[in-house]
């Protein structure tokens, strides 16, 4: 998928009026995701993204403090000056395209790295992680 195709998908998913507004949302959400992902998942996701989105993702320094999915949305809202509802909408529109690009295996790895409630942001069912077996 090219960046133009990604923008068209996000524009359609989010009902944004222009490609420019879709591009702005993509860069904001990819930057926020770049502050959350580390390791091989970050590298592998950057590899499957269009170059423009990958550069935004990898330009961010990962934050060491974990955020819940709701925390991710609130942080995005605070950084972009939109309401949490708009930030949630923007997140869903962009991460739907990311989900498609990542594919099921990489997406599963990404979701294992993030807190449980991120699955909903990626449009996935939120499944509970198995509890570790007692010794």
Classify residue 81 as left (phi > 0), alpha (psi -120 to 50) or beta: left
Tell me the CA distances in angstroms from 12 to 9, 19, 41, 107, one per residue in order: 5, 10, 27, 22
Q: Tell me, what's the pLDDT at 47?
A: 98
Cα–Cα dist 126/75, whole Å: 21
* Cβ neighbour number for residue 50 with a 10 Å cutoff: 17
Q: Tell me, what's the pLDDT at 39?
A: 95
The answer as to whether 126 is a domain residue is: no
12 phi, psi to nearest 5 deg? -70, -50
The answer as to whether 90 is a domain residue is: yes
Structure tokens that stand for 80 in this block: 């972009």
* Cβ neighbour number for residue 52 with a 10 Å cutoff: 17
The answer as to whether 37 is a domain residue is: yes
SS3 63: coil
Q: Tell me, what's the pLDDT at 131?
A: 57
pTM of the model: 0.91
Q: Tell me, what's the pLDDT at 66?
A: 87
Q: Which domain holds residue 62?
A: 3-121
**pLDDT in single tens digits along all 135 residues of the chain:** 999 999 999 999 999 999 999 999 999 999 999 999 999 999 999 999 999 999 999 999 999 888 999 999 999 999 999 999 999 999 999 999 999 999 999 999 999 999 988 999 999 987 655 555 555
What does the chain come to in residues? Answer: 135
The answer as to whether 45 is a domain residue is: yes
The answer as to whether 135 is a domain residue is: no
Can you give the CATH number for the domain in which 63 is found?
1.10.490.110
Domain count across the chain: 1
């Amino acid at each position: 998928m090219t960046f133009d195709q990604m923008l068209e998908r996000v524009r359609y998913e989010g009902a944004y009026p222009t490609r420019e507004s879709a591009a702005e949302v993509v860069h904001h959400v990819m930057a926020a995701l770049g502050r959350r992902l580390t390791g091989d998942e970050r590298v592998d996701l950057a590899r499957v993204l269009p170059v423009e989105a990958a550069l935004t993702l990898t330009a961010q320094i990962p934050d060491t403090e974990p955020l819940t999915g709701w925390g991710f949305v609130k942080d995005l809202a605070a950084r972009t000056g939109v309401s949490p509802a708009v930030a949630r909408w923007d997140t869903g529109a962009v991460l739907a395209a990311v989900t498609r690009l990542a594919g099921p295996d990489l997406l599963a790895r990404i979701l294992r790295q993030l807190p449980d409630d991120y699955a909903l942001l990626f449009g996935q069912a939120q499944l509970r992680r198995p509890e570790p077996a007692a010794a």
